[in-house]
Structure 1
């Protein structure tokens, strides 16, 4: 099995005043084979792989279970495939999940607080002759106060070369992932946060429209977790239920990380009130690669699905009915006022009696 190698490229540009400006362009390909990382001129190439020892042979990456205060010693093998001697820097860094759902490692100018701080190579650099390999030993020292749970990072080799044509320095990195589980109580847990549902209906009030469900999957536990997702939308009392198709699984999230999810659901009837339910089943992977499904997490949110054309027709109809009622009421009031005036005039005429006759 080939090692899980991550390739990165970092470029650094200098101004006329020789002030360094770091331009970080990440090129990550987690889980690819240990192919060579080529420099700009194509004459420099090297590979990295895990060392064969008591932890195993041909490992795809480094994986350890260590109690707080414990230590592990291991090694990385670096091979020079180019025609000239190579001087490579070696360092460790914390890992994180990118917006594209891939594992990346912090650059050397960023401070690591976990694996990047706990993994110490025996040397900060290594010199390798053409066609030769060199073993780079390293030690993982877990602090006594380390919080139990999963940590992911990596150990990297880097080569910086000047690009005269562009006036920049190109920093190429090639590394291997390290997954560490610190002993203690494991509390795997995913949460669904900020669940919302919106509805967009057609002009035809009797046609179906589309609902959009958005939420955030948040790893609130201390174990790295992936998950399976399902989303449904229904009307009042669970009627007219529609299930979203092919909801993509979130990437494996490290403790504390979150992932934004947007799910379109088609063919939703304008049922006035909608209930959107998101279900996430956490998946926990152990050191052997076996995956266990944990208790599903489910959250429901409500939103409106109004057939606006029908609502507009009803509003107009109600306005017409109210106008007709008010018109009839005003006519009745005016007719009653006229009748009251006629009666009042008749009474006054009767009280005055007949007018005297003049001879």
Structure 2
């Protein structure tokens, strides 16, 4: 997962941000608070009349021109900032966009709105034409960001500024070789048993899903734990799919597998079925990937017996060593006496 950078704090002023994105649900996105209300949506043009978001396939060095429509639904004149920014997946698995003071290096740097401010009277709409210019050295594959409108309002009593943002998701698939790949990394398993030698325990399987390719991917997950020789297999049950991860992103997973018999040596397996979504919205499953890890799960009684055996074995070895030392000492003494008598 990406590192989320925090907004700078100044004295007693704290910046709060609320963000809504169209493209994650049908229809235009709406921001409403008292007399202030506005919507953003895609314009009807040659790309379509009822799009939920902006999406393009562009070759490196190519350009695209399109328009976002902003409508003032409130009762007072609205003054908004307009800018583009890169997207990232939050810890909650949702797409978010960098705030304006954060540097964008992908979509946010390639999208250029014709204006960076809007003034819209109540009940009126304004078009925001923009150009997408893809660098010639752009990495092939998927890039996600958004075009945003922003309204900062002061709350003097609370001593805060509230940054209300409303935007439209913008996805690019840059031409070139598409290499969708996921990896399961850092898989490990822990077992928590009971003192009852016949009771089952819980194995906790943890791992990281890493998008190592250049395409936006989610994955179906299957996690199981089994004993030696594939016996006593226990599955975690139905698991949610991972969120869609951008190229390079990571997602941490921790799955409890309950009802696992203490099979002495356990093997945990995490299998992922990557899901690739094409520009039309259809999903294609790819070749599964998996990883395994091992842990000990010895029944309490058996563990006690093993401990007793180990301690007994150690004591026997020490007793034998002491006897050998005493025999060697007696031999040395006998040799010394024989030499003295001679």
What's the TM-score, normalizing by structure 1?
0.82
Against the structure 1 CA distance between its residues 166 and 318, is the aligned structure 2 distance closer, same or farther, given a 3 Å change threshold?
closer
Among residues 59, 83, 92, which one is paired with 1:91 in the alignment?
A: 83
Among residues 170, 176, 189, which one is paired with 1:178 in the alignment?
A: 170
SS, match of residue 36 in structure 1: strand
| 1:243-322 equivalences in 2 (<5 Å) | 243-316=235-308, 319=311
Asked if structure 2 preserves the Cα contact closer than 8 Å seen for 1:28 and 1:103, the reply is: no
Aligned partner of 1:79 in structure 2 is: 71
Among residues 154, 164, 178, which one is paired with 2:156 in the alignment?
A: 164
| 1:159-238 equivalences in 2 (<5 Å) | 159-238=151-230
C-alpha distance in structure 1 between counterparts of 2:301 and 2:21, whole Å: 50
Deviations 1:29-65 (A, max 9, x none): 67245353124xx111100011000000111111100
Asked if structure 2 preserves the Cα contact closer than 8 Å seen for 1:12 and 1:168, the reply is: no
SS, match of residue 108 in structure 2: helix
The offset of 1:313, in angstroms, is: 3.3
Against the structure 1 CA distance between its residues 262 and 28, is the aligned structure 2 distance closer, same or farther, given a 3 Å change threshold?
farther
Against the structure 1 CA distance between its residues 218 and 328, is the aligned structure 2 distance closer, same or farther, given a 3 Å change threshold?
closer
Against the structure 1 CA distance between its residues 35 and 113, is the aligned structure 2 distance closer, same or farther, given a 3 Å change threshold?
closer
Q: Which stretch of structure 1 is more off in the superposition, 289-298 or 299-308?
A: 299-308
**Unaligned 5+ runs, structure 1:** 1-9, 335-359
**Unaligned 5+ runs, structure 2:** 1-5, 327-342
Deviations 1:136-161 (A, max 9, x none): 10000001110101000000001111
Q: Which stretch of structure 1 is more off in the superposition, 305-314 or 265-274?
A: 305-314
Against the structure 1 CA distance between its residues 55 and 202, is the aligned structure 2 distance closer, same or farther, given a 3 Å change threshold?
same
The offset of 1:222, in angstroms, is: 0.2
| 1:9-88 equivalences in 2 (<5 Å) | 15=11, 23-25=15-17, 31-32=24-25, 33-39=27-33, 42-88=34-80
Asked if structure 2 preserves the Cα contact closer than 8 Å seen for 1:116 and 1:154, the reply is: yes
Question: Which has more radius of gyration?
Answer: 1
Aligned partner of 1:146 in structure 2 is: 138
Q: Which stretch of structure 1 is more off in the superposition, 82-91 or 185-194?
A: 82-91
The offset of 1:116, in angstroms, is: 0.3
Against the structure 1 CA distance between its residues 161 and 328, is the aligned structure 2 distance closer, same or farther, given a 3 Å change threshold?
closer
